[in-house]
Amino acid sequence: MFMVRCILGTSAKNLTSRPVLRQRIKLQNRMSTSPRPVAAVCQMTATPDKEANFSACQQLVEEAKERGASMVFLPEGFDYIGSSQEETLSLSESLTGDTISKYTQLARKLEVWLSLGGFHERGHDWESDRRIYNSHVIINDKGDVVSVYRKSHLFDVELPEKGVSLKESAFTVPGPCLVSPVQTPIGKVGLGICYDVRFPELSLALRRHAAEVLTYPSAFTEATGAAHWEVLLRARAIENQCFVLAAAQVGRHTEKRRSYGHALAVDPWGEVLADCGGEKPGVVLVEMDPEKVRGTRRSMPVQRHRRDAGFYRGLEST
């Protein structure tokens, strides 16, 4: 498994302002002759400034494409992270608004697939209830929106001893269903968002529908990230024998909110292939070897050993 190291900077602008570093990247690209597809996993520090966020994401995507990525993963809240519930709602858009339009144009221009990990989408009853979906949008290299998954499990957690207090359901509608894994250049990708990683039923359902890659774009708090982030992602990779790609928010977004960072790529054996660290925006690139998935499943055929669903419900009737 080939891995290109993470490039970090105090802002995404720094990724394109260091000529020596860019020359080194170009050299790495020329030296790589592997036919395996490459995935780029990003981390950023979103703020309420949507234009600045798009500029940061655009530069991350451009760097990833220059380094050979065929699909780029951006985190939850890539569009913005508001400083209040009122601001969060006021900045939201529909899927036909300016933000998604910019990303479809970017994907088409660069001929790269995009995973937009958590878009503030105005709900179907927006005019009456002013609530939104947290939506994971997949755009292909032609600029078409090919899948939209709306976050199923909403983060309503009060941990006063950890300084964590978030109630996502106050302004967000839970998604009505899962969506089928999407065939992409890096494999068949099953979609989740952040808190969904704590619910193995979701990943098992995606695995049953032939997912080879699971993705959990996130904005984990520092407290929950330090305690659970890596172990949860590795567990989902191991139990489903899938690659797991998790783009992340990092650092301070507003006066009251910070994120843990550590965007990760994990292989089907549970090995961490790349970690973007917990300090600054950046991107990691990993080669996606489909034989790693097939080989892991052949040598330890967990799915074949799983009993039927009724067996696991049997305890409820005893």
Q: Which CATH number goes with the domain that contains 85?
A: 3.60.110.10
Mean pLDDT computed over every residue of the chain: 90
Residue 305 included in any domain = no
* All residues at 6 or more sequence positions from 137 whose CB lies less than 8 Å from its CB, including other chains: 95, 100, 103, 114, 115, 116, 119, 145, 147, 148
Neighbours of 300 (CB within 10 A): 14
pTM of the full structure: 0.89
Task: Please determine, for residue 104, whether its predicted confidence score (pLDDT) is greater than 60.
Answer: yes
Q: Is the pLDDT of residue 15 over 60?
A: no
Look at residue 302 and tell me if it is in a domain: no
Does the active-site annotation cover 255?
no
Q: Does residue 59 belong to any structural domain of this protein?
A: yes
Give yes or no for residue 181 having a pLDDT over 50. yes
What is the band of 156 on the pLDDT scale with cuts at 50, 70, 90? confident
20 band by pLDDT with thresholds 50, 70 and 90:
very low
pLDDT exceeds 80 at position 92 = yes
Expressed as residue numbers, the domain containing 201 is: 3-290
Q: Which of 62, 63, 76, 121 is catalytic?
A: 76
Backbone phi and psi for residue 105, each to the nearest 5 degrees, phi listed first: -65, -40
pLDDT at 30: 37
Residue 11 pLDDT exceeds 50: no
In the prediction, which pLDDT does 239 show?
A: 97
Instruction: Kindly state whether residue 300 falls inside one of the protein's structural domains.
Output: no
User: Is residue 151 annotated as a catalytic residue, yes or no?
Assistant: yes
β strands within the chain, DSSP E: 3-8, 38-44, 71-74, 113-122, 132-139, 145-150, 156-159, 164-167, 182-184, 187-191, 213-215, 243-246, 248-254, 257-260, 264-266, 272-275, 282-287
Q: Which two tokens stand for residue 306?
A: 């799983």
Q: Which residues, including other chains, have CB under 8 Å from residue 165's CB and lie 6 or more apart?
A: 157, 158, 159
For residue 5, is pLDDT > 50? no
Catalytic residue among 57, 194, 242, 276: 194
Q: Residue 12: its pLDDT value, please? A: 39
Residue 18 has pLDDT above 50, yes or no: no
Question: At residue 305, does pLDDT exceed 50?
Answer: yes
Mean pLDDT of 88-115: 98
Give the three-class secondary structure for 112: coil
Total domains in the chain come to 1
pLDDT on residue 34: 54
pLDDT of residue 318: 63
283 and 21 Cβ atoms separated by less than 8 Å: no
Residue 196 domain-assigned?
yes
pLDDT mean over 88-108: 98
205-232 per-position pLDDT tens digit: 999 999 999 999 999 999 999 999 999 9
pLDDT tier at 28, thresholds 50, 70, 90: very low
Per cent of the chain over pLDDT 90 is 80
Residue 295 lies in a domain: no
Choice between 233 and 160, residue whose per-residue pLDDT is larger? 233
* 50 inside domain: yes
| 266-289 average pLDDT score | 97
Residue 272 falls within a domain, yes or no? Answer: yes
The residues near 175 (Cβ < 8 Å, ≥ 6 apart) are 133, 134, 135, 149, 150, 151, 152
Give the separation between CA 66 and CA 93, rounded to whole angstroms. Answer: 30
What local confidence, expressed as pLDDT, does residue 314 receive?
A: 87
The pLDDT value given to residue 7: 52
Name which of 28-37, 180-189, 220-229 the model is least confident about: 28-37
Catalytic residue, chosen from 62, 63, 121, 151, is: 151
Matching residue, tokens 């009724």: 310
Judge whether 26 counts as a catalytic residue: no
Q: Which residues contact 58 (CB under 8 A, 6 or more apart)?
A: 106
Average pLDDT, integer, range 300-311:
92
Residues 203, 238: Cα–Cα separation, whole Å: 11
